[in-house]
């Protein structure tokens, strides 16, 4: 199994890697903004699975040319899965008050994952196989005042995944969009209100790996969010706009 | 602010929770200027891991292995790694942790900070005996690497140091060779403390894991089940050798404690009857033998919204069986009691940590529902423990008076010189004054 992980230092991605190497020795390529941090993740995975091969590549997630080069370089060998997992949950109020923060959030969470997906899609199209797994969010299902900048980014990612899925229908290339609910990661802990029930990273990672195995086009993790978001998406405006969600 | 409890669920005060994830930037998180305490999996029972209205540095995200040498059994890992994960990594490779406490859901940092012991204390000592080095970050930015052969004074202060000498970031552990996950076990029903002491004495030279359950409601003579085990290569042909991980979970907090005056006796009787059936020898997986309570996730919820206390003391060997006898009598008279009372003899070795708990003697551990009047019983027990020259286990404690702590830990004065003033917990303020 050869897996490329974009944003490999994200807690959720790291736990997916742990599950993958626990099953069988893998050939992992960890792509991250910070090579030192990714090196610590790689060392851990190597202890868990001495037979795996783990490489770390540092790259700038906002440089389209670098993304293209990285995809070409890693696609020189066949890839089974690319997991696009990077992101940074911005503070909504900062996005509202500072357009530079807002632009950064849009670039990191929306434009960058779309570019990675597009870059790998080209290589997978040629190979005729491979799974593109992208982390979206339940926040992308409907814009809410609490986090619409992040939600809009994840909405773009969802629509992009949908388009790729359509493009590759009938081929060996699969697209899996994962939508985690609020998860107990350091990223979420900084922003989410207290008292909120958070899903454990282990549970979310397990649901993701299962969904990727089954090549399901959309995976809610944990699964109950499918039902919750079904309701949230269909709430009429006159009700939704009065809710403090 | 987030509400956080410890294992006893006696309170859930708000904390500023800082989740540590990358060991590369811990120093920055520590340097924020507000005192705090490390929090791993929250398995200490009382207020050792709590800091109401203050900072908690959560170490569960520091869960990376760093290096494992399969030839020597040396493992380097971050402090938030859970003992269960070390076992699962090491056992298939022929290694295992030499010391395991009664639950495997504790972090390496917590196991060091409490210098925990297991059922094999007479053979392998405490957790700290197998730490070859640890890296400590102080809130003033100073980094201290210490071990038994490297700045041993810092090591003796930090092993069993209640998290007060700085934040343990990573540790190197010496694992030991193990043939696999199986244990040859034997269960022996016994009656009376004399028989317990005789069984302990007879078992220590030949059995690695030795522990006993006692029915503290059974009156005099006390009845109990003595359990002992040795690692074994695997189940012999014809023996049941399969083990599937099965966990029940306590899904909610019942409105009243399910362990109470009405259920205490029946529950003890049930445990006695159920487990007496297993008398004799059999091969068992180490997990159900060493961690019987891990089979029920969130079992601490059984005690209801008010939570529970655990009382664990050790009384010196020289005091003989008298203090244990007196304590069991006091408990029986009070009408309080515990379902999972544990009685165990420690080995004849002193721990390396200045504030380590395990010392030569006999240890008794009991759970008590939190209800009005239980403190009166504790005061009675405290008096017996201090008259015998014993001490209480801070990892389990939520209420011991400062005088009892000071009397039980005569090296406290030495310890204070290594204290990180930026590390503070509800326990440190209660027992040390800051």
List chain B residues with CB under 8 Å of A185: 19, 21
Q: Which tops the pLDDT comparison, A139 or B238?
A: A139
Residue A64 lies in a domain: yes
Residues of chain A in contact with residue B64, where contact means CB-CB under 8 angstroms, are 40-41, 43-44
Nearest to A48 among B17, B24, B89 (CB): B89
- Whether B135 and B192 share a structural domain: no
Rounded to a whole number, what is the distance in Å from the CA of A124 to chain B's nearest CA? Answer: 32
| Enclosing domain of residue B375 | 182-408
B416 inside domain: no
Q: Sort out which chain A residues have CB atoms less than 8 A from B21's CB and list them.
A: 11, 185-186
- Count the domains in chain B: 2
Averaged over B206-217, what is the pLDDT? 94
Q: Rounded to 5 degrees, what are φ and ψ at B248?
A: -90, 165
Closest Cβ opposite residue A189 in set B1, B19, B22: B19
Query: How many angstroms separate the Cα of B232 from the Cα of each of B236, B237, B283, B360?
Result: 9, 13, 8, 27
CATH of the domain at B126: 3.30.465.10
Closest-CA residue of chain A to B81: A44
- Residue B338: pLDDT band by 50, 70, 90 thresholds? confident
Best interface-test mutation with B: which of A44, A89, A196 has the largest number of B CBs within 10 A?
A44
* pTM for this predicted structure: 0.94
Q: What is the ipTM of this complex?
A: 0.92
Q: Is it the case that residue B238 has pLDDT exceeding 80?
A: no
Interface of B with A in 15-54 (CB under 8 A): 17, 19-24
- Whether residues B288 and B190 share a domain: the answer is yes
User: Which chain B residues are within 8 Å of A54, Cβ to Cβ?
Assistant: none
Measure A113 CA to nearest chain B CA, in Å: 23
Cβ neighbours of B61 in A, within 8 Å: 11, 186
Query: Which of A:191-210 have CB within 8 Å of B?
Result: 194-195
Domain with residue A83: its CATH number is 3.40.50.720
Residues of chain B contacting A40 with CB distance shorter than 8 Å: 22-24, 64, 66
**How distant is the Cα of B340 from the closest Cα of chain A, in angstroms?**
30
Could you tell me if B37 and B62 lie in one domain? Answer: yes
Q: Which of B151, B178, B205 is the last residue of a domain?
A: B178
Residues of B in contact with A7 (CB under 8 A): none
In contact, B140 and B423? CB cutoff 8 Å: no
- Which pLDDT value is given to residue B276? 86
Higher pLDDT, B251 or A166: A166
Instruction: Give the nearest partner residue to B65 out of A9, A11, A47, using CB atoms.
Output: A47
> Smallest CA–CA separation between B76 and chain A, in Å?
10
Strands B341-345 and B362-369: antiparallel
Residue B322 CA to residue B316 CA, distance in Å, equals 11
Residue B117's CB is within 10 A of a number of other CB atoms, namely 30
CB pairs under 8 A between A and B: 41
Q: Residue B73 in contact with residue B175, Cβ under 8 Å?
A: yes
Q: Which of B3, B4, B15, B19 should we substitute to test contact with A (largest number of A Cβ atoms within 10 Å)?
A: B19
Is B380 at the interface with chain A, CB within 8 A? no
Q: Looking at the complex, does the CB of residue B298 fall below 8 Å from at least one CB of chain A?
A: no
Residue B367 near residue B131, CB atoms below 8 Å? no
| Distances in whole angstroms, Cα of residue B182 to Cα of each of A108, B187, B228, B229, B287 | 50, 16, 13, 10, 9
The domain total for chain A is 1
- Considering the domain architecture, whether residues B228 and B372 belong to the same structural domain is answered as yes
| Domain presence at residue A161 | yes
Residue B417 lies in a domain: no
So what's the pLDDT on residue B261? 86
Please check whether residues B254 and B346 belong to one and the same domain.
Answer: yes
Say whether both B171 and B187 belong to one domain: no
Q: What is the mean pLDDT of chain B?
A: 94
How would residue B317 be classed by pLDDT, with cut points 50, 70 and 90? confident
Residue B88 resides in a domain: yes
Among residues B302, B422, B263, B305, the alpha carbon closest in space to that of B11 is found at B305
Q: CATH code at B316? A: 3.30.70.2520
pLDDT recorded at residue B213:
95
- Residue A245: inside a domain: no
Tokens of A220: 């809610």
| CB-CB neighbors (< 8 A) of A9 in chain B | 22
Report, in angstroms and rounded to the nearest whole number, the Rg of chain B calculated over CA atoms: 21
Same domain flag for B31 and B125 = yes
Residue finishing a domain among B150, B178, B206: B178
Per DSSP, what are the bridge partners of residue A28?
Answer: A3, A54
Note the pLDDT tens digit of each residue in B136-173.
Answer: 999 999 999 999 999 999 999 999 999 999 999 999 99
Q: Same domain, yes or no, for B111 and B198?
A: no
Q: Which chain B residues touch A35 with a CB distance below 8 Å?
A: none
Asked if A48 has any chain B CB less than 8 Å from its own CB, the reply is yes
Asked if residue B107 and residue B14 are part of one domain, the reply reads: yes
Q: How far is CA B202 from the centre of its chain?
A: 25
Residue B159: predicted pLDDT: 98
Taking the CA of residue B114 and the nearest CA in chain A, the distance in Å comes to: 25
Q: Which residue carries 């074994």 as its tokens?
A: B232
Task: Identify whether residues B160 and B193 lie together within a single domain.
Answer: no
What are the phi and psi torsion angles at B52 (to 5°)?
-50, 135
**d(C-alpha B219, C-alpha B197), whole Å:** 18
Do residues A101 and A152 lie in contact, with contact meaning Cβ atoms separated by under 8 Å?
Answer: no
Look at B338 and B394; give whichever has higher pLDDT: B394
Same domain, B128 and B19: yes
Q: Which of B147, B178, B209 is the last residue of a domain?
A: B178
Mutate to test the interface with B, among A188, A189, A190 (most CBs of B within 10 A): A189
Q: Does the pLDDT at position B231 exceed 70?
A: yes
Residue B433 lies in a domain: no
Percent of chain B with pLDDT over 90: 82
Same structural domain, B140 and B273:
no
pLDDT tens column, B373-382:
899 999 999 9
A8 in a domain, yes or no? yes
Considering only alpha carbons, which residue of chain A is nearest residue B64? A44
CB B138, CB B335: distance < 8 Å? no
Beta carbons of A40 and B67 less than 8 Å apart? no
With respect to residue B350, please indicate whether it lies within any of the assigned structural domains: yes
- pLDDT-based confidence at residue B242 (cuts at 50, 70, 90): low
B296: in domain: yes
pLDDT of chain A, 245 residues: tens digit per residue: 999 999 999 999 999 999 999 999 999 999 999 999 999 999 999 999 999 999 999 999 999 999 999 999 999 999 999 999 999 999 999 999 999 999 999 999 999 999 999 999 999 999 999 999 999 999 999 999 999 999 999 999 999 999 999 999 999 999 999 999 999 887 777 666 555 678 999 999 999 999 999 999 999 999 999 999 999 999 999 999 998 87
Q: Which of residues 25-44 of A touch B (CB under 8 A)?
A: 36-37, 40-41, 43-44
B chain contacts of residue A47, beta-carbon cutoff 8 Å: 65-68, 89
Measured at the alpha carbon of residue A165, what is the angle toward residues A61 and A114, in degrees to the nearest 5? 15
H helices within B305-401, ranges in order? 322-334, 374-387
The predicted structure's pLDDT at residue A114: 98
Q: What pLDDT is recorded for position B292?
A: 87
Distances in Å between the Cα of B231 and the Cα atoms of B182, B212, B343 are: 6, 18, 22
Binary contact (B21, A186; C-beta < 8 A): yes
| Residue B284 lies inside a defined structural domain of this protein | yes
Which range marks the domain in which residue A131 is found? 2-240
| Residue B415, domain member (yes or no) | no
Statement: residue B237 has pLDDT above 60: no
Whether residues B23 and A40 touch (CB distance < 8 A) is answered with yes
């Amino acid at each position: 199994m050869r897996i490329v992980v974009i944003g490999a230092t994200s807690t959720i991605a790291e736990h997916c890697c742990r599950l993958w190497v626990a099953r069988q020795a893998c050939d992992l390529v960890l792509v991250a903004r910070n090579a030192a941090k990714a090196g610590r993740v790689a060392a851990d995975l190597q202890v868990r699975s001495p037979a795996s091969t783990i490489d770390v590549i540092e790259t700038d997630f906002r440089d389209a040319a670098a993304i293209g080069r990285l995809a070409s370089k890693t696609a020189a060998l066949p890839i089974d899965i690319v997991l696009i997992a990077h992101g940074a949950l911005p503070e909504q109020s900062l996005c509202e008050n500072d357009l530079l923060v807002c632009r950064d959030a849009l670039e990191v969470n929306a434009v960058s994952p779309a570019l990675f997906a597009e870059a790998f899609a080209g290589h997978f199209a040629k190979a005729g196989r491979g799974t593109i797994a992208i982390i979206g969010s339940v926040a992308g299902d409907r814009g809410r005042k609490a986090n619409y900048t992040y939600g809009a980014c994840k909405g773009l990612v969802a629509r992009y995944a949908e388009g790729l899925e359509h493009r590759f229908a009938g081929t060996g290339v699969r697209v899996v969009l994962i939508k985690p609910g609020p998860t107990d990661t350091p990223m979420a802990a900084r922003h989410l209100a207290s008292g909120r029930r958070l899903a454990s990273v282990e549970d979310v990672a397990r649901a993701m790996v299962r969904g990727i195995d089954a090549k399901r086009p959309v995976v809610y993790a944990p699964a109950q969010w499918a039902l919750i978001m079904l309701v949230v998406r269909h709430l009429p405006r006159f009700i939704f706009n009065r809710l403090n969600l | 602010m987030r509400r956080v409890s410890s294992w006893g669920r006696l309170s859930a005060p708000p904390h500023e929770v800082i989740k540590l994830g990358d060991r590369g930037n811990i120093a920055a998180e520590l340097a924020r200027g507000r005192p705090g305490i490390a929090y791993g999996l929250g398995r200490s029972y009382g207020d050792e891991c709590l800091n109401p209205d203050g900072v908690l540095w959560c170490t569960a995200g520091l869960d990376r292995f760093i290096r494992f040498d399969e030839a020597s059994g040396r493992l380097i890992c971050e402090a938030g790694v859970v003992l269960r994960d070390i076992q699962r990594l090491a056992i298939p490779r022929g290694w295992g942790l030499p010391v395991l406490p009664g639950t495997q859901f504790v972090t390496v940092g917590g196991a060091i900070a409490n210098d925990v012991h297991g059922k094999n204390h007479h053979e392998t000592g405490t957790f700290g005996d197998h730490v070859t080095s640890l890296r400590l970050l102080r809130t003033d930015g100073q980094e201290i690497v210490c071990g038994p052969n490297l700045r041993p004074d810092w090591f003796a202060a930090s092993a069993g140091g209640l998290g007060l000498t700085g934040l343990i970031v990573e540790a190197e552990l010496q694992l030991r060779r193990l043939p696999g996950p199986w244990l040859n076990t034997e269960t022996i029903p016994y009656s009376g403390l004399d028989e317990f002491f005789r069984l302990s004495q007879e078992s220590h030279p030949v059995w690695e894991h030795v522990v006993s359950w006692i029915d503290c409601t059974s009156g005099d003579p006390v009845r109990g089940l003595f359990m002992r085990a040795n690692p074994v290569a695997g189940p012999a042909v014809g023996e049941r050798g399969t083990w599937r991980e099965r966990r029940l979970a306590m899904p909610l907090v019942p409105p009243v404690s399910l362990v109470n005056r009405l259920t205490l006796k029946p529950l003890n009787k049930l445990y006695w009857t159920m487990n007496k059936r297993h008398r004799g020898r059999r091969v068992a997986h180490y997990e159900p033998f060493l961690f019987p309570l891990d089979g029920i996730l969130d079992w601490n919820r059984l005690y209801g919204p008010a939570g529970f206390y655990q009382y664990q003391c050790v009384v010196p060997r020289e005091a003989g069986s008298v203090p244990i006898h007196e304590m069991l009598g006091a408990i029986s008279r009070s009408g309080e009691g515990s379902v999972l009372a544990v009685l165990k003899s420690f080995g004849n070795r002193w721990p390396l940590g200045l504030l380590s708990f395990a010392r030569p003697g006999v240890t008794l551990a009991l759970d008590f529902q939190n209800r009005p009047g239980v403190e009166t019983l504790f005061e009675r027990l405290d008096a017996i423990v201090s008259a015998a020259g014993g001490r209480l286990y801070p990892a389990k404690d939520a209420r011991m008076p400062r005088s009892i702590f000071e009397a039980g830990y005569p090296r406290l004065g030495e310890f204070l010189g290594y204290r990180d003033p930026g590390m503070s917990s509800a326990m440190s303020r209660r027992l040390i004054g800051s």
